[in-house]
Structure 1
Amino acid sequence: MSRFDLPLDELRAYRSASPEPEDFDAFWAKTLDEARSHALDARFERVEAHLATVEVYDVTFAGFGGHPVKGWFVIPAGAREPLPVVVEFLGYGGGRGLPHAHLLWASAGFAHFVMDTRGQGSGWAVGDTPDPVGSAPSYPGFLTRGIEDPDAFFYRRVFTDAVRAVEAARSHPLADAARTAVIGESQGGGITLAVAGLVPDLAAIAPDVPFLCDFPRATTITDRNPYREVAAYLKTHRGSAERVAGTLAYFDGVHFAARGTAPALFSTALEDLTCPPSTVFAAFNAYAHEDKAIEVYDFNDHEGGGVFQQAVQLRWLPGRLTA
């Protein structure tokens, strides 16, 4: 694979042309107010995961519409004092999987909350959270579900679940709410940016190769799914492009980034055909907080930095979560 996007010096200066809806903040305030009209009802049930170094809790909380959303809460074994919290969001198509897949952050001394993604969990990892809300006709996948109406769009539910996940994580007595970070890769990175724009008191965020950014460019520069789902939908639904663009503008990571108030560590890969680097830089360059950095992986596709990026996070995050 060769480089296909802008040169790195142009990426560092690139700005998205994604239009921000005039009622962007009002739309999200109304959405979250509606969600909070339902009791959070966060329940943590200890489970035997046969792991000696961590304790695992099966979590259920009320997300969008009061719908039950699952998660894992993993803490170092024997923890008795409140810990800094890492809330993680997952990549496209995957679910929360099994507890032993989530050992890194508890091993580093953090409380780790993993949110299951509603309606997914059948791709690369199993999930346990259905999406009880139907949608209008959509192209196979998730990116076009309800895409002609911001109120019905799939990611309205997911982003709301994610804000409620932070609230659920912070409700546990062993979570230090003032030291909360949110992280995620690909779709999880896009969700991370949404939460960064909707939750004003986070301590840090770390979106890796984030999806759901700079939709006007992303949906036209790559032929790879998930962004290609939008083009496939529009190929059939002729004349819907303006309505679709209007919906996506409410969910663009660029606009959430412009509202970010926490230190941020991004990553991108210059040969990434799934989440092209210009779309990642669009969000990074728009990110509002001055304490921000981006790791660039020159010869990688959507796998990005992988374990190398995790090592960077392990060095970077503790300094942002000090007591």
Structure 2
Amino acid sequence: MNFDSYWAAVDEELAAIPGRPVLDLVPQRATDEATSYTVRLTSTGPYRVFGHLSIPTGDGPFPALLQTPRYGSVNHVPHPNDRSRYVVLGLMHRGQRLADEGFSAAYPGLLTMDIDDPASYIYRGIAADCLRGAEFLMGLAEVDRARVAVTGDDLAVLTAARRPGFSAVRVTELLFYRAMEARLRSSHYPLEELNDYLRAGSSAEIVDKTIAYFDPARHAPAVAGRTLLAVDDPDWCAPLTGAFPAASVYQLTHLDGTDNDFLDAWLAELSGVRPMSRYLA
């Protein structure tokens, strides 16, 4: 199956499954600035995924922000700064905490789960979870469809490529980009999972074929929104940057206040809201 057919099949599966969103108010998280909910959505499988949804107080529509899931068992509730300015959906994909009924993801191990077969690879379903979250967020009456952003790792790129309408894409981590090369440059997890898997006897050619479907450089040309890549090595990421129609690069300093303030201000300017620091001056 070629790249386009692979992802068209995911879209077709999602289209055949109603999202059936269920929202529950979370009174203990209510503030003067925003109202919070938990959300359950049906993705491919079918599988019920989870999200934290927050809607600002006041007259909308508001800019919106989709936070795609990080790699790990737990994703946190969106930060109060984001909840006060955006309709924000923080998504948990299948297997993560709060979306683990019937399947609990293993860490390490998720990255290589069923990786020998692209059709059953776990990230095919995880990508579908993100696409379903995008559909739900964009369909909310409180959302200004001209100001919808997505933030996260490669899943943010994939989601923006497959679901038109994102005005901004903020990429703060990379997992699948040049992964078969990157695994040789570091022994850190999660990329070390690929090395562990190959040492156990799997074929590098088979693994490379599967993860190629998720390489953000292959999805980048379809991303219409303004894109920011926050990376350690701009030269390493130059092919990815050049694949986007409109992308810029921020070199991470790993000074939390400096990086967070820049990333927040970049998105705030595009979304028409005030920048907010998470740190005391």
- Give the TM-score category using the shorter length: 0.7 to 0.9
- Structure 1 portions without partners, runs of 5+: 1-21, 121-126, 271-276
Counterpart of 1:119 (choices 54, 71, 95) is 95
1:28 matched to 2:4? The reply is no
User: What is the RMSD of the two structures over their aligned residues, measured on CA atoms?
Assistant: 2.5
Match of 1:284 in 2: 241
Counterpart of 1:80 (choices 36, 59, 65) is 59
- Residue 118 of structure 2 aligns to a residue whose secondary structure is coil
* 1-structure distance, mates of 2:171, 2:186: 20
Match of 1:316 in 2: 266
Task: Please tell me whether the aligned partners of residues 183 and 205 of structure 1 are also in contact (alpha carbons under 8 angstroms).
Answer: yes
Task: Please tell me whether the aligned partners of residues 150 and 168 of structure 2 are also in contact (alpha carbons under 8 angstroms).
Answer: yes
The alpha carbon displacement at 1:314 in A equals 2.8
1:102-117 alignment runs, 5 A limit: 102-107=79-84, 109-117=85-93
Check 1:116–1:139 CA distance in 2 against 1; reply closer, same or farther (3 A cut): closer
Task: Please tell me whether the aligned partners of residues 74 and 102 of structure 1 are also in contact (alpha carbons under 8 angstroms).
Answer: no
TM-score with structure 1 setting the length: 0.77
TM-score with structure 2 setting the length: 0.87
* 1-structure distance, mates of 2:236, 2:13: 31
Task: Please tell me whether the aligned partners of residues 24 and 250 of structure 1 are also in contact (alpha carbons under 8 angstroms).
Answer: yes
The size of the alignment, in residue pairs, is 272
Counterpart of 2:70 (choices 75, 78, 91) is 91
Counterpart of 1:146 (choices 84, 102, 114) is 114
The alpha carbon displacement at 1:94 in A equals 3.6
The alpha carbon displacement at 1:322 in A equals 4.7
Query: What is the one-letter code of the residue matched to 1:62?
Result: T
* 2-structure distance, mates of 1:220, 1:191: 22
Counterpart of 1:156 (choices 105, 108, 124) is 124
- Structure 2 portions without partners, runs of 5+: 274-281
The alpha carbon displacement at 1:191 in A equals 0.9
* 2-structure distance, mates of 1:316, 1:152: 37
Check 1:103–1:46 CA distance in 2 against 1; reply closer, same or farther (3 A cut): same
Q: Report which structure shows greater RCO (CA 8 Å, sep ≥6).
A: 1
Check 1:132–1:213 CA distance in 2 against 1; reply closer, same or farther (3 A cut): farther
Match of 2:138 in 1: 170
Match of 1:16 in 2: none
Query: What is the one-letter code of the residue matched to 1:293?
Result: S
Match of 1:3 in 2: none
The alpha carbon displacement at 1:139 in A equals 9.0
Counterpart of 1:228 (choices 178, 192, 203) is 192
The alpha carbon displacement at 1:43 in A equals 2.2
Task: Please tell me whether the aligned partners of residues 47 and 94 of structure 2 are also in contact (alpha carbons under 8 angstroms).
Answer: no
Counterpart of 2:49 (choices 69, 72, 83) is 69
Match of 2:278 in 1: none
* 1-structure distance, mates of 2:196, 2:264: 39
- Residue 60 of structure 2 aligns to a residue whose secondary structure is coil
Match of 1:294 in 2: 249
Task: Please tell me whether the aligned partners of residues 112 and 193 of structure 2 are also in contact (alpha carbons under 8 angstroms).
Answer: yes
